[in-house]
């Protein structure tokens, strides 16, 4: 068996199996027979920001979409492969989630690449361009360091994604009928803080 990491994944699965399948049988219910999560979380692919670990959820609790920089693309109908939009559609239209959380985080390499002139790749620049407006929306002169500027862009990118969620007509309809709510959260992984966007105060505050 390959690297020690790979072996540890098998051990981890065995622990998961004995805990969850036993629990499932003891309770007389098969928690793996179907899913009905109440929440969609859109998080970064970053290895440090796994929503299930951060929020202590159980299997079946949350429907998760992860991508570079936790971005939501705008509603576009064409023949491209819209994996993120398809997953949003499934969770909203079929699973009927009640809440959508866009979870940003500090020290995000994806957002850092936005302000870095040497960002490259065949797919990344185009993907990250979803958040390019973040750099235009922050007042660059207000930030003393690049780190502070990236942090501001990370939060603006969450707001751009929240705005893009509203370009999906069936999300708008459900919000209007109070069947769905959207939330912008930000995990400050340097200080272990969780912040939430407060529309009234127009800022992220610790929650
Ligand atoms: Zn990230």
Domain boundaries, the chain: 1-33, 34-206
* pLDDT computed for residue 6 by the predictor: 92
Using the mean position of ligand 1's atoms as its centre, give its distance from the Cα of residue 69 in Å: 4
Predicted confidence (pLDDT) at residue 107 exceeds the cutoff of 90: yes
- Percentage, residues of the chain above pLDDT 90: 78
More confident residue, 16 or 144: 16
* pLDDT computed for residue 44 by the predictor: 98
- What token pair was written down for 183? 């939330």
Domain 34-206, architecture per CATH = 3-Layer(aba) Sandwich (3.40)
pLDDT band of residue 49 (cuts 50, 70, 90) is: very high
Using the mean position of ligand 1's atoms as its centre, give its distance from the Cα of residue 65 in Å: 13
* pLDDT computed for residue 116 by the predictor: 79
List, in order, residues 6 or more apart from 40 with CB less than 8 Å away: 62, 63, 64, 65, 88, 91, 92, 97, 99, 100, 101
Angle, alpha carbons 80-83-85 (nearest 5°):
90
Query: CA distances (Å), 126 to each of 68, 120, 129, 150, in order?
Result: 12, 10, 5, 19
The region of weakest confidence among 17-31, 147-161, 180-194 is 17-31
Q: Indicate the pTM of the whole model.
A: 0.94
Please give the Cα distance from 164 to 197 (Å, whole number). 15
Using the mean position of ligand 1's atoms as its centre, give its distance from the Cα of residue 82 in Å: 20
Using the mean position of ligand 1's atoms as its centre, give its distance from the Cα of residue 25 in Å: 37
Using the mean position of ligand 1's atoms as its centre, give its distance from the Cα of residue 19 in Å: 30
Predicted confidence (pLDDT) at residue 138 exceeds the cutoff of 70: yes
Using the mean position of ligand 1's atoms as its centre, give its distance from the Cα of residue 47 in Å: 9
Using the mean position of ligand 1's atoms as its centre, give its distance from the Cα of residue 195 in Å: 16
pLDDT average, residue stretch 112-126: 83
pLDDT band of residue 47 (cuts 50, 70, 90) is: very high
Using the mean position of ligand 1's atoms as its centre, give its distance from the Cα of residue 176 in Å: 30
Using the mean position of ligand 1's atoms as its centre, give its distance from the Cα of residue 37 in Å: 24
* pLDDT computed for residue 20 by the predictor: 87
Predicted confidence (pLDDT) at residue 83 exceeds the cutoff of 90: yes
pLDDT average, residue stretch 137-149: 86
Whole-number average pLDDT of the chain? 93
Predicted confidence (pLDDT) at residue 118 exceeds the cutoff of 70: no
Predicted confidence (pLDDT) at residue 133 exceeds the cutoff of 70: yes
* pLDDT computed for residue 26 by the predictor: 73
Using the mean position of ligand 1's atoms as its centre, give its distance from the Cα of residue 99 in Å: 21
Using the mean position of ligand 1's atoms as its centre, give its distance from the Cα of residue 76 in Å: 23
* pLDDT computed for residue 115 by the predictor: 83
pLDDT average, residue stretch 62-78: 97
Using the mean position of ligand 1's atoms as its centre, give its distance from the Cα of residue 178 in Å: 30
pLDDT average, residue stretch 56-78: 96
């Amino acid at each position: 068996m390959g690297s020690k990491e790979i072996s540890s994944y098998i051990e981890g699965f065995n622990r998961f199996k004995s805990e969850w399948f036993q629990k499932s049988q003891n309770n007389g219910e098969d928690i793996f027979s179907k899913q009905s999560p109440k929440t969609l979380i859109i998080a970064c692919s970053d290895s440090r920001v796994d929503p299930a670990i951060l929020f202590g959820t159980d299997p079946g609790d949350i429907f998760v979409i992860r991508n570079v920089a936790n971005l939501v693309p705008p509603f576009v109908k064409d023949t491209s492969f819209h994996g993120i939009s398809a997953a949003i559609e499934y969770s909203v239209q079929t699973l009927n989630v009640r809440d959508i959380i866009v979870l940003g985080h500090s020290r995000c390499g994806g957002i850092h690449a936005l302000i870095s002139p040497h960002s490259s790749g065949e797919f990344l620049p185009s993907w990250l361009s979803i958040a390019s407006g973040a750099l235009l929306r922050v007042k660059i002169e207000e930030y003393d360091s690049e780190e502070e500027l990236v942090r501001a862009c990370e939060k603006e990118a969450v707001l751009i994604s929240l705005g893009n969620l509203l370009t999906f007509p069936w999300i708008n309809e459900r919000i209007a009928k109070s069947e769905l709510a959207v939330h912008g959260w930000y995990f400050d992984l340097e200080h272990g803080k969780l912040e939430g966007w407060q529309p009234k105060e127009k800022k992220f505050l610790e929650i």
